[in-house]
Amino acid sequence: MGTLAGIAVVLAVLLLSHRFGRADPTGDYRPVLVPDGLALGCYPLPGGVTFDFGYQLRRDGDVEVDGEKRRVLFAQYDEMDEDEALAAIVDDFAEAGFVASERPAPPYDAVLRRPGDARADVVRAVVEPLPGVEDDTIVRGTFELDLPVAELASDAPDCDDPSSTKRWDEDS
């Protein structure tokens, strides 16, 4: 008799369990993505440049190069080849008044400056494809920009979030 009662309780729990202790399904199972630090304007690019192509900001920070403070930005570009990515970067800076050097010094693929600006306002770019990417791969390569240092230019709440700005502490 005790066994039958136990089976009845288990069956009752199984039949009614869907009504108790479960969250209502929302259909929203994607995490909230942090906003892009460049789009927020936290640390803007020189001349207010914005990129008109698909990219992901990976790292952004200030370094010292030969005794000079510089900003190094590292990102990935999407759905284009290396030449198209370089042309897109150069075009975006050209729209802000920068002029590309006809013969950039290696290892740089492009050296850009605004006429009349100081030497420190030079922007240097290196673009590299990722090895072995397939035709349907979204991320196709990387680019690194050597830029003048930028000061924090926005008080947006996400500007103090390294996940957004990609300005990681040296210990991170």
Give the CA distances from residue 75 to residues 3, 25, 139, in Å, rounded to whole numbers and listed in that order. 65, 36, 10
Between residues 42 and 117, the one the model is more confident about: 42
Of 26-35, 51-60, 103-112, 126-135, the one with minimum mean pLDDT is 26-35
- Res. 171 pLDDT band, cuts 50 70 90: low
Q: Where are the domains of the chain?
A: 37-165
Per-residue tokens: 70: 């510089």
Tell the residue number behind the tokens 């390569």, with chain if given.
141
Return the bridge partners of 61, or none.
Answer: 72
Percent of the chain at pLDDT > 90 equals 58
Give the model's pLDDT for residue 120.
66
What is this structure's pTM?
0.79
Q: How confident is the model at residue 56 (pLDDT cuts 50, 70, 90)?
A: very high
DSSP string covering the chain = -HHHHHHHHHHHHHHHGGGSS-PPP-S--SPPPPPPHHHHTSSPPGGG----S-EEEEEEEEEEETTEEEEEEEEEEESS-HHHHHHHHHHHHHTTT-EE-SSPPTT-SEEEE-TT--GGG-EEEEEEEPTT--TT-SEEEEEEEEE---------GGGG-HHHH----TT-
pLDDT at 94 (0 to 100): 96
117 pLDDT higher than 80? no
> What is the chain's length?
172
pLDDT at residue 12 in the model? 72
